[in-house]
């Protein structure tokens, strides 16, 4: 399915590039919006692209995957960044609005589970994480830690990271499972909000994209199941699929891209741009 | 002579139009809110709106936690801002020497100009950790932290407006009271405050209005967990206000979706809240004014 998608995308790219007049490729503005996870990467790309095509301006803003996709549906952006796949509902809304979203995998990301440095917990399983975030476990002592309440931190619901975490961790990938975040989960509007709370609150447990995690917090090793072995997130463990909470990052265009947008996306999947991906702590999509 | 009459006519008309347009804009905004928010009442059954859970991406649209969060934070902030703000105003207007007043008033008014994002940032970095350690709470991101920040934000408004009202009380009132042998406290409590009542109540109203409508700082420090408040202890737990919900989620929704309409419905609820505050306070103000006029006449 994935290869089929890739082949159709490539075909689309080729077809579209044949029909593009060259002047259109080199001037103008590309409006790029969406996932906060991708925003630093997109900014770095936009900056580097200035050296490749000085005539093309790329305006990058964050706001969350849902925000980006909503903007694509409403026709206000050229490229939407998303840290999750577009939902069927969103695709329907887009089509109803006359927009056909086209998907590109532009990098991979791992979600790191982070705690305060003083927290003795080193490893957690997906089952334990699910029980914590759904409210079944509320004290660190139940996991072998200190007798402290667990303060659960999450991104806001418009974050692709939130949706991914809900589906892959809370519901363990089971589509029938209707587990929700416990209502006392703190929903913070930014990755930075999560980092700063985990940095100075010994009770806190958070998750964030690997690219955002600094040495100020402690990263916990995660196992897919209780019997399995615990893995820390890194470029190697994401690429060899050992780390259980990793995902693809996407860019969506309104219809098959043409002109400068096509040129930009081609450049992004090229080796030069993918080096920037690893520099920022993400994992390249095209090794 | 004729020219002047003409120009006067134009100016009067202009001012009249400007005055009416304020009312028109409020009416238009309310109409827009109604048009965008009312569909939610049809799309979401009433018992779902009264649900205990707000989780819009899974179709859970319970408004109670959000209303509870706003009420909790607003009451908390009012309890901080009103006593502090009013006593500061009384001090500046009635007690402080004239020279000190000239310094204090502008400084307080500068405080009012602080951007709320900046206060929110201070709240995250300084206030939240401090509150967590002082009160031994699981997290410092709580309704209480939000209430303190909002209180601090409302104080300058309250002080500035209330002080103006107190200052406008004719000094003959105070002199007359003093001649009758009243103490300072009796003059403040029995004479100046009642005389400046309508202005002081306006200060209260504007202060509370600022608190209800504030978004950014609240979103940064209250933790935004949609929990229904349950007694005084909830003040020290995370809460999610209506304003923070709208701000955090409005960017994400597709135009015309159920979630979009639900957010506008929250807007209507918020609008109704501040309308109730305004109406109840101005009701008191107008009643007092007519009685005062009767006494004076």
CA B103, CA B28: separation in Å to the nearest integer? 42
A27-108+248-284: CATH topology = D-Maltodextrin-Binding Protein; domain 2 (3.40.190)
pLDDT bracket for residue A16 (50, 70, 90): very low
Distance from CA of A188 to the nearest CA of B (A): 6
Closest CA to B242 of B275, B276, B272: B272
Which residue of chain B is at minimal alpha-carbon distance from A93?
B254
Closest approach of chain A CAs to the CA of B138, in angstroms? 6
A64, A148, A186: residue with CB nearest B252:
A64
pLDDT at B177: 92
- d(CA B290, CA B295) in angstroms, rounded, equals 9
Q: Express each pLDDT in A276-286 by its tens digit.
A: 888 887 888 87
Which chain A residues are within 8 Å of B125, Cβ to Cβ? 196
Nearest-by-Cβ selection for B238 from A180, A184, A193: A184
Domain spans in chain A, listed from the N-terminal domain onward: 27-108+248-284, 110-246
Distance CA B164, CA B199 (A): 8
Per-residue pLDDT for A20 more than 60? no
Q: Are B262 and B252 in contact (CB under 8 A)?
A: no
CB atoms near residue A109 (< 10 Å): 29
Mean pLDDT of A221-238: 85
Q: What pLDDT band is residue B295 in, cutting at 50, 70 and 90?
A: low
Q: Is residue A163 within 8 angstroms of chain B, CB to CB?
A: yes
Of B60, B128, B138, the CB nearest to A149: B138
Nearest chain B residue to A194, by CA: B223
Q: Nearest by CB to B249, which of A73, A157, A204?
A: A157
Q: For position A62, what pLDDT does the model report? A: 85
The band of B286, judged by pLDDT with boundaries at 50, 70 and 90, is low
pLDDT, one tens digit per residue, over B122-153 is: 888 899 999 999 999 999 999 999 999 999 99
Q: How many residues appear in chain A?
A: 287
**Ranges A251-260, B110-119, B140-149, B174-183: which has the least confidence:** B110-119
Residues of B in contact with A180 (CB under 8 A): 53, 55, 58, 60
Q: Give the minimum alpha-carbon distance from B103 to chain A in angstroms, rounded to a whole number.
A: 37
Does A54 score more than 70 pLDDT? yes
Residue B21's pLDDT is: 94
Q: Using CA atoms, how far apart are residues B239 and B146, in angstroms rounded to an integer? A: 9
Q: What is the band of A268 on the pLDDT scale with cuts at 50, 70, 90?
A: very high
Q: What is the pLDDT of residues B30-58, one digit of tens each?
A: 899 999 999 999 999 988 899 889 998 88
Q: Which of B254, B257, B260 to mutate to test the interface with A (most CBs of A within 10 A)?
A: B254
What's the pLDDT tens digit per position in A134-159? 999 999 999 988 999 999 999 988 77
| A188 and B CB contact within 8 Å | yes
Chain B touched by A72 (CB under 8 Å): no
Decide: A138 and A150 in contact? Cβ < 8 Å. yes
The per-residue pLDDT for A21 is 44
How far does Cα B123 stand from its chain's mean position?
A: 19
Is residue B1 predicted with pLDDT exceeding 60?
no
How much is the pLDDT for B294?
57
Residue A2 reports pLDDT greater than 70: no
Selected from 3.40.50.10800, 3.30.70.890, 3.40.190.10, 3.40.50.1100, the CATH number assigned to the domain covering A110-246 reads: 3.40.190.10
Q: Say if residue B190's pLDDT is above 70.
A: yes
Beta bridge partners of A221: A123
- Cα distance between the two ends of chain A: 20
A contacts of B237 (beta carbons < 8 Å)? 184
Binary contact (A74, B132; C-beta < 8 A): no
- Mean pLDDT score of chain B: 88
pLDDT value for A25: 56
Is the Cβ–Cβ distance between B216 and B117 less than 8 Å? Answer: yes
- What residue in B sits closest to A68 (Cα-Cα)? B252
Torsion A138-A143-A148-A150 (CA) sign: negative
Tally Cβ neighbours within 10 Å of residue A93: 21
CA nearest to A257, candidates A32, A53, A97: A32
Q: Do B139 and A197 touch (CB under 8 A)?
A: yes
* Alpha carbon A137 to chain centroid, angstroms: 27
Average pLDDT, chain A: 85
Q: Could you tell me what percent of chain A has a pLDDT over 90?
A: 45
Report the distance separating Cα A223 and Cα B179, nearest Å. 83
Q: Which residues of B touch A181 (CB under 8 A)?
A: 55
Taking CB atoms and an 8 Å limit, are A64 and B55 in contact across chains? Answer: no
Are domains A27-108+248-284 and A110-246 of this chain identical in fold?
yes
The CA distance from B76 to the nearest CA of chain A, in Å, is 20
pLDDT score recorded for residue B112: 80
- Considering only CB atoms, A201 lies closest to which of B53, B132, B225, namely B132
Q: Is residue B289 scored above 70 in pLDDT?
A: no
Phi-psi region of B296 (alpha: psi -120 to 50; beta: other; left: phi over 0): alpha
Average pLDDT value for residue range A120-129: 92
CB contact under 8 A, A197 and B249: no
The overall pTM is greater than 0.90:
no
Q: Which residues of B touch A (CB under 8 A)?
A: 52-53, 55-58, 60, 65, 124-125, 128-129, 132, 138-141, 219-220, 223-227, 237-238, 240, 248-249, 251-255, 257
Q: What is the pLDDT of residue B240?
A: 94
DSSP letters for B176-213? HHHHTT--HHHIIIIIIHHHTHHHHHHHHHHHHHHHHH
- Give the pLDDT mean for B213-227: 90
The reported pLDDT for the residue numbered A15 is 46
The rounded distance, in Å, linking the Cα atoms of A233 and A219 is 8
Q: Which residues pair with A34 in a beta bridge?
A: A81
Asked if the model's pLDDT at residue A7 lies above 60, the reply is: no
Cβ separation A184–B139 shorter than 8 A = no
Global ipTM: 0.80
B chain contacts of residue A184, beta-carbon cutoff 8 Å: 225, 227, 237-238
Nearest to B238 by CA among B140, B118, B122, B132: B140
User: Does residue A56 sit at the B interface (CB-CB below 8 Å)?
Assistant: no
The DSSP call for residue A33 is E
A185/B225 Cβ within 8 A: yes
Minimal CA separation from A281 to chain B, in Å? 26
């Amino acid at each position: 399915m994935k290869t089929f998608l890739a082949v159709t995308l490539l075909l689309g790219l080729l077809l579209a590039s044949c029909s593009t007049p060259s002047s259109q490729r080199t001037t103008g503005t590309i409006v790029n919006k969406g996932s906060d996870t991708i925003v630093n990467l997109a900014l770095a790309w936009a900056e580097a692209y200035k050296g490749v095509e000085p005539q093309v301006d790329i305006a990058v803003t964050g706001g969350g995957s849902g925000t980006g996709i909503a903007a694509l549906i409403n026709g206000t952006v050229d490229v939407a960044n998303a840290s999750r796949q577009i939902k069927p509902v969103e695709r329907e809304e887009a089509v109803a609005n006359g927009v056909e979203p086209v998907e590109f995998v532009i990098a991979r990301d791992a979600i790191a589970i982070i705690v305060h440095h003083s927290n003795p917990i080193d490893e957690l399983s997906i089952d334990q994480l699910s029980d914590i975030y759904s409210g079944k476990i509320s004290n660190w002592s139940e996991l072998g830690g200190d007798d402290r309440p667990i303060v659960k931190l999450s991104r806001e619901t418009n974050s692709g990271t939130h949706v991914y975490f809900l589906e892959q961790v809370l519901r363990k990938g089971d589509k029938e499972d209707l587990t929700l975040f416990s209502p006392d989960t703190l929903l913070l509007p930014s990755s930075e909000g999560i980092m700063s709370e985990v940095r100075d609150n010994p009770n806190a447990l958070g998750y964030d994209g690997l690219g955002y995690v600094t040495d100020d917090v402690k990263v916990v090793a995660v196992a897919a199941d209780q019997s399995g072995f615990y893995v820390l997130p890194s470029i190697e463990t994401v690429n060899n699929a050992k780390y259980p909470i990793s995902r693809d990052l996407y860019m969506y265009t309104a219809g098959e891209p043409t002109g400068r947008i096509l040129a930009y996306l081609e450049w992004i999947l090229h080796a030069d741009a993918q080096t920037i991906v690893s520099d920022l702590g993400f994992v390249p999509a095209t090794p | 002579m004729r020219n002047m009459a003409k120009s006067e006519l134009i100016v009067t008309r202009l001012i009249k139009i400007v005055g009416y347009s304020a009312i028109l804009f409020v009416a238009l905004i309310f109409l827009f809110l109604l048009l965008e928010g009312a569909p939610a009442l049809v799309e979401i059954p009433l018992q779902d709106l009264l649900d205990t859970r707000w989780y819009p991406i899974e179709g859970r649209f319970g408004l109670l936690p959000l209303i509870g969060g706003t009420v909790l934070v607003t009451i908390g902030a009012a309890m901080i801002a009103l006593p502090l703000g009013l006593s500061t105003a009384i001090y500046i207007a009635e007690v402080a020497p004239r020279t000190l007043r000239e310094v204090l008033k502008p400084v307080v008014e500068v405080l009012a100009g602080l951007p709320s994002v900046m206060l929110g940032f201070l709240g995250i970095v300084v206030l939240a950790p401090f509150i967590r350690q002082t009160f031994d709470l699981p997290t410092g991101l709580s309704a209480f932290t939000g209430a303190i920040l909002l209180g601090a934000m409302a104080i300058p408004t309250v002080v500035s407006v209330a002080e103006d009202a107190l200052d406008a009380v004719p000094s003959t009132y105070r002199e007359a009271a003093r001649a009758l042998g009243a103490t300072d406290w009796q003059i403040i409590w029995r004479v100046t405050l009642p005389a400046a009542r309508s202005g002081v109540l306006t200060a209260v109203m504007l202060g509370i209005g600022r608190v209800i409508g504030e978004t950014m700082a609240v979103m940064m420090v209250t933790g935004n967990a949609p929990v229904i408040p349950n007694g005084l202890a909830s003040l020290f737990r995370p809460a999610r206000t209506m304003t923070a919900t709208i701000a955090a989620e409005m960017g994400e929704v597709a135009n015309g979706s159920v979630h979009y309409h639900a957010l506008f419905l929250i807007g209507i609820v918020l609008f109704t809240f501040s309308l109730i505050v305004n109406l109840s306070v101005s009701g008191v103000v107008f009643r007092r004014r007519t009685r005062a006029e009767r006494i004076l006449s």
